[in-house]
Structure 1
Amino acid sequence: MKQSYTIRHGALDGVEVFLAVARHRNFRRAAAELAVTPSAVSQAVRALEARLGTALFVRTTRSVGLTEPGQRYLDRAGPAFEELVSAGEAARDVGQRPTGLLRLSVPRAVVPLILEPMIASFCRAYPEIELEIAASDEMVDLAAGGYDAGIRLGQFIAPDMVAVRLTPPFSFVVVGSPDYLERHGTPEQVSDLSRHACLRLRRANGAIAHWSFADGNGAIEAAVSGPLIAHDYPTLLGAAIQGVGLAQVPRPVADGAIAQRKLEPVLEGFAGATPGVFLYHPGKRQVLPKLRAFIDHLKSAD
């Protein structure tokens, strides 16, 4: 049988009233500050004293003073209440304007392609935001990790997330260095990969990713093999440039090396596509201004 629990009410009831009376040493002036009646102030103080089991004030017809328990309560409750007020103001501040710590979980490959070009301008535009970028290819639980948002390929984002597109769809391309292709030949069919050194990606769940290709309206998954397994695309790209083997990476990751002729694309007729890169966040409540500012800045930088 499920046990019934109740939340205790009133732990802070009367504290603000007590502090106002202690500050003014006068019930009427405390009531004027709080915009309530003197009777309401007296009732709140009596209720607090009853709950604590001790008198907090010494009252005469001419003055109000603190008892020893009242002074001790003031010494502890005063600073604590000020902290609560400050905490509320800080939370309200973060909720109303772009400020505070903005934590993002992003893959390593995304940092130079999407974030580096706009980090400086964003920091200049929003000096009250502290931007923290956690570069990791692991899929993380945003809430458990304390992240405001993440950036990932669209196919890896859970359907209950709010996704904001950052790039158009793009293909995955197989690349090799000119030296490697000269030594081992250029594959013409997906089946040719069985004779090549293929550099592979291990996903965060521990599985080694198959290489994906498109063949007409169908898809081909190829289980390749080779001398290197890495956990991120930049490492695979660097190894391919060094001639270690062929790598399959997102086209934007390889474009620079292809333009510099450090790598050559192969099997382009079989290139598989991905929906693109998205920023994602839980979005179950109103988006905080710091995250909204970041999203807007990303879009304006396109």
Structure 2
Amino acid sequence: MANNSEPSLDDLSLFLAVCRSGGFRAAAKLLGLSPSHVSETIARIEAQLGVPLFSRTTRSVMPTEAGKKLADRIAPLLAQTRAALYDATSAHQEVRGRLKLNVTGAVMVDILPPLIDRLLTKHPGVRVEVMVDDRLVDITLADCDAGIRYREHLAQDMIAVPIGPPFQHLAVAAAPSYLRSRGIPRHPWDLLKHDCVRLRFSSGALTQWTFEREGERLNIDPSSRLIVGVDAAAAAIDLACRGHGLICAFGNWLDPYIQSGQLEPVLSEWWHRFEGPLLYFPSRLMPAPLRAFIDLVSEDRTRS
């Protein structure tokens, strides 16, 4: 090191905020500080360590190799420190503090909102922030306490517990008016001849239309007359109800519309069944709000 002093925990947290946000001004806005204070703090840390942590240009601020390595090492340590402090202040007291989740949009329709409602009602001292992102995100670097993903998109080296239904399925449906005018598909390949309402992830990829029956599995890529981002899935379902084509989505999303008669199920014998979502987090040492949320999730699964 360049001198005997070491960066404080507050300074290191600010350093991680710059890494996450990609710039001094963005970090300053996130933390409610002035850009000059952020810049001066980073300069002080670099002087204390004796190495540059960021490459600065007029257009961007990027971590150096030393900066990336430092962020990777200290992010989980600071998260554990924050968890220990939360536990110390919450022991024998009301559960208080922030719960920040990074989740896929698939759980925001009917799985996560009721759980958050119950958490906030049971623990008035808890604040909840939900980041909806269908990309695989490093929840530690994103300053999140936990994430929710499906197993195939689950980050490695994480503790995971089921949340919501143990199993779900993809369903296909269309408005009765559409099926009367265009006919009912009898096989997944028939979908290639139909108008379809497709959903697109924030990554840019279209959601898969997967079918299975008696050991046979098919991935169909039908033409899309209409494409809607998954964040606006409710609008896509509404347009399908208005007769603009077949839609493939989570069965629990489409069930209310099927039950009301706005949509009719199609190819139900081919619907793909898969494991439900998982709540994941990096350590068993966790902040009190996350522990309270996990307890609530466990209670919910025990009742069901």
For the aligned pair, the TM-score class normalised by the smaller chain equals 0.5 to 0.7
CA distance in 2, matches of 1:203, 1:264: 25
Q: CA deviation at 1:214?
A: 0.8
The answer on whether the counterparts of 1:107 and 1:136 sit within 8 Å (CA) in structure 2 is yes
Q: What count of residue pairs does the alignment treat as equivalent?
A: 221
Amino acid at match of 2:195: A
Using the size of structure 1 for normalisation, the TM-score is 0.65
After the TM superposition, which residues 155-194 of structure 1 pair with which residues of structure 2 at under 5 Å, given as runs? 155-166=152-163, 167-194=165-192
How has the CA–CA distance of structure 1 residues 228 and 212 changed in structure 2, closer, same or farther, with 3 Å as cutoff?
A: same
CA distance in 1, matches of 2:150, 2:191: 25
The offset of 1:174, in angstroms, is 0.7
Using the TM superposition, give the Cα deviation of residue 266 of structure 1 relative to its aligned residue in structure 2, in angstroms. 0.6
C-alpha distance after superposition, 1:27-49 (max 9, x if no partner): xxxxxxxxxxxxxxxxxxxxxxx
Give the match's secondary structure for 2:110.
helix
What is the aligned counterpart of 1:8 among 4, 9, 12?
4
Partner of 1:95: 87
Cα displacement string for residues 57-98 of structure 1 (whole angstroms, at most 9, x for unaligned residues): xxxxxxxxxxxxxxxxxxxxxxxxxxxxxxxx9875413323
Matched letter for residue 208 of structure 1: L
Seen in structure 2, the aligned counterparts of structure 1 residues 217 and 126 have a Cα distance that, compared at 3 Å, is: same
Does the aligned pair in 1 maintain the 2:171–2:251 contact within 8 Å?
yes
1:263-282 equivalences under 5 Å are 263-282=263-282
Aligned to 1:67: none
**Aligned to 2:169, what secondary structure does the other structure show?**
strand
The residue correspondences of 1:253-272 to structure 2 (distance < 5 A) are 253-272=253-272
CA separation of 1:153 and 1:270: change in aligned 2, threshold 3 A? same
Gaps of 5+ in 1: 13-88
Identity of aligned pairs, percent? 31
Aligned to 1:62: none
| 1:193-212 equivalent positions in 2, closer than 5 A | 193-212=191-210
SS of equivalent residue, structure 2 residue 141? helix
Structure 1 residues 221 and 188, CA gap change in structure 2 (3 angstroms): same
Q: Paired residue for 1:239?
A: 239
**Residue segments in structure 2 that go unaligned for 5+ positions in a row:** 9-80
* SS in structure 1 of the partner of residue 240 of structure 2: helix
Q: CA RMSD in A?
A: 2.6
The match for 2:151 is 154
Alignment of 1:1-302 (within 5 A): 8=4, 93-96=85-88, 97=90, 98-166=95-163, 167-232=165-230, 233-283=233-283, 286-302=285-301
CA distance in 2, matches of 1:172, 1:225: 18
- Per the alignment, residue 69 of structure 1 pairs with none
Residues 300 and 157 of structure 1: CA distance in aligned 2, closer, same or farther (over 3 Å):
same
Task: Quote the Cα distance in structure 2 between the aligned partners of 1:276 and 1:288.
Answer: 25
Q: Distance between the aligned counterparts of 1:11 and 1:172, measured in 2?
A: 50
